[in-house]
Amino acid sequence: MQSSAPVSVIHTDITATLSNCALFRGLSDSQRTDLMQQASIVHAAKGKTLYVHQEEASSFYIVSQGWIKLFRETLDGNEAVIDILNDGHIFGETSMFGNGSYSSSAQAVEDTTLIRLPISSLRQIIEAEPKVALNLLDSMSRFRQQQERELEHRSLQNAPQRIGCFLLRLCGTEMPDEVTLHLPYDKTLLAARLGMKPETFSRALAKLRSETGISINGAAIHISNVRHLVEYSCSACSQSFPCEDAGC
Amino acid sequence: MQSSAPVSVIHTDITATLSNCALFRGLSDSQRTDLMQQASIVHAAKGKTLYVHQEEASSFYIVSQGWIKLFRETLDGNEAVIDILNDGHIFGETSMFGNGSYSSSAQAVEDTTLIRLPISSLRQIIEAEPKVALNLLDSMSRFRQQQERELEHRSLQNAPQRIGCFLLRLCGTEMPDEVTLHLPYDKTLLAARLGMKPETFSRALAKLRSETGISINGAAIHISNVRHLVEYSCSACSQSFPCEDAGC
DNA sequence: CGAGGGTTTGAAGTGCATCAAATAGTGTGG
DNA sequence: CCACACTATTTGATGCACTTCAAACCCTCG
């Protein structure tokens, strides 16, 4: 898109994104500058595959602006969505451990701007700066809890409840009486993210509407009675409502 | 069980378990001794709950001998099994991050011996010894990949395939032509671990037998043609066969 | 032997997937 | 600005996988 931006603007982008990223919290300015030397900006057009599962890893990424899908796919073309990430999120970094290959594939959901850094510089900075190791541990444990929740939802919640739960996480941690929100990406992708087929998603959303009184207008969803939705969705969940993190 | 063992034996147990644990690899003898001072042995009888989801955490554990179930349960009594751990595995340690509470409940599947350590000493040793932070990162990334695989299996494999895949992981990384193995814990628990009901497990195992020619005698399973089982189970999976880690 | 848990089997129901087709929405070139 | 092409979404009809409820069976252990 703006690949003709002047150098100064690019640098601003990198610094802004890096300081926006929890992983590098606590670094000194000089350490950040060092990182910037190694970083490059990548523009990934919608549908662009950044890497595939089990490919040998050389880089990891930070989303500057856009959406990235992490997924795994079988030989016969089925795919399981692991996560969908946006601004400030990091991915591909776990390839630093284990056998050094990516544990899933990554693809741009829409035109996306990313920062690419070599795995080797992550290794260096972790060894040089213990804070970064702690930041990384923190982000990994957060992700881990998210995955545990996901696994629970897949086994205990039905399709309408999973959608309801997703909507509630979009609301954030405060619990207003009513709220209007927009689905962050298209319904087909959201269906995959929630482990169901598009047709099932459509029907499940309709059922959620009739059961909880939400109203739907394309990607815009109005929840007139949040408490009602909480009762409907969270009854089959081990967590009490404001389920913190909203990593869509 | 052997709660009347003499002190020297207990110390031997602790040192053996600690050095068996990947998390503490690379520590000096004196650092290990320090840890031992803080450690205590816990005997958990079958069914004993060590902690529950969202409880404030003060300790984490290492399995010395036995089996531990990590799970989450809803108000209406449904539960989702997150993981089942045995000797050398660590759990509860992620409570060090986030809001300091456990992200799932833990229960002894059978009489189990554990080592308990305070979260605070984990924090100390991580800050004092960067190696431990790296070890922990390594173990968390391993777990993360395991969870990603799990999520994939739940969405792409059917019940018989999930069982077959589990059996193959029990075989380890070498791929013999044929093998006899024993289920590590009872079928009801295994069913939960694989995200299905006991009845479904029973029927799915029978189907796996008729489709792949394995033979079943209680908990003993003989696989006469491993390649056949691989074809049957792994066709719906993104990973090529020897799927490494066998964290049951 | 008898009690109790684990496991299997049967019959019926439910939820989601699949296949097929209609409809709505979006961007394109004329 | 409209018609077309293409994609996203919805709707309908049907099938299959897993669950549920119920009962039998099996096995171990006191």
Per-residue confidence (pLDDT) for residue A7, from 0 to 100: 52
Would you say residue A1 has pLDDT above 60? Answer: no
Which chain B residues in 173-232 lie under 8 Å from chain A, judged by CB atoms?
195
Nearest to B51 by CA among B1, B114, B9: B114
Describe chain A by its helix, strand, coil percentages, rounded to 5.
Answer: 45, 20, 35
The gap between B162 CA and C13 C1' (Å) is 24
Confidence of residue B10 (pLDDT cuts 50, 70, 90): low
b/e per residue A114-137 (b: at least 16 CB within 10 A): bbbbebebbeebbeebbbbbbbbb
Contact list, B96 vs chain A (CB under 8 Å):
141
Test mutation, B51, B70, B72, chain A, max A CBs within 10 A: B72
Using the 8-state DSSP alphabet, how is residue B55 labeled?
P
| Residue A113, beta-bridge partner list | A43, A65
pLDDT tier, A213 (very low <50, low <70, confident <90, very high otherwise): very high
B152 touches chain A (CB under 8 A): yes
pLDDT classification of A15: cutoffs 50, 70, 90: confident
What is the overall mean pLDDT for chain A?
91
Binary contact (B138, A98; C-beta < 8 A): yes
How many C-alpha atoms does B226 have within 13 Å on its Cβ side? 18
Per CB-CB distance under 8 Å, the chain B contacts of A123 are none
Continuous H helices in A79-158:
119-128, 130-156
Question: Which residue of chain A comes nearest to B141, CA vs CA?
Answer: A94
Report the predicted TM-score, pTM, of the whole model to 2 decimal places. 0.92
- pLDDT for B4 equals 45
* Among candidates B53, B74, B144 on the partner chain, residue whose Cβ is nearest the Cβ of A156: B74
Residue A208 pLDDT > 80, yes or no? yes
What is the distance in angstroms measured between the alpha-carbon CA of B111 and the sugar C1' of C10? 35
Confidence of residue A247 (pLDDT cuts 50, 70, 90): low
State mean pLDDT over B2-12: 54
- Answer whether residue A233 shows pLDDT above 60: yes
A237 vs B138: CB contact, 8 Å cut-off? no
In angstroms, the CA of A191 and the C1' of C16 are apart by 13
Q: Output the pLDDT for position A196.
A: 98
Which H or E element spans position B96?
Answer: none
Number of inter-chain CB pairs under 8 A, A vs B: 132
Lowest mean pLDDT among A82-86, A243-247, B86-90, B105-109: A243-247
Q: How confident is the model at residue B227 (pLDDT cuts 50, 70, 90)?
A: very high
The mean per-residue pLDDT over the stretch A172-178 comes to: 85
Q: How far apart, in whole angstroms, are the C-alpha atoms of residue B26 and residue B206?
A: 46
- Predicted local confidence at residue B53, as pLDDT: 94
pLDDT at A95 over 50: yes
CB of B91 within 8 A of CB of B103? no
pLDDT for A3:
44
B82 to A152: CB separation less than 8 angstroms, yes or no: yes
- Could you tell me if A241 lies within 8 Å of chain B, comparing CB atoms? no
Q: Is it the case that residue A5 has pLDDT exceeding 60?
A: no
Q: Which residues contact A16 (CB under 8 A, 6 or more apart)?
A: none
Average pLDDT of every residue of chain B: 91
Asked if B101 has any chain A CB less than 8 Å from its own CB, the reply is no
Of A80-89, A168-177, A234-243, B84-93, the least confident: A234-243
Report whether A23 contacts A136 (CB < 8 A). Answer: yes
Q: For A95, name the nearest residue in chain B, comparing CA atoms only.
A: B141
Task: Give B242's pLDDT tier (boundaries 50, 70, 90).
Answer: confident
Across A93-97, B2-6, B15-19, least confident range: B2-6
Residues of B in contact with A165 (CB under 8 A): none
Q: How many CB atoms lie within 10 A of CB B28?
A: 9
CB proximity list for A60: less than 8 A, separation 6 or greater: A90, A91, A92, A93, A95, A96, A116, A117, A119, A122
Per-residue flag: B209 CB under 7 A of strand C: no
For residue B18, what pLDDT band results from cuts at 50, 70 and 90?
confident
Q: Measured in angstroms, what separates residue A22's CA from nucleotide D25's C1'?
A: 58
Average pLDDT over residues B144-159: 96
Look at residue A217 and give its three-state secondary structure.
Answer: strand
State the nearest residue by CA to the C1' of C10: B199
* Interchain contact, A236 vs B130, CB within 8 Å: no
Between B95 and B174, the higher pLDDT residue: B95
From the list A96, A104, A145, the residue facing B103 with the nearest CB is: A145
pLDDT of residue A2: 42
Does residue B91 surpass a pLDDT of 90? yes
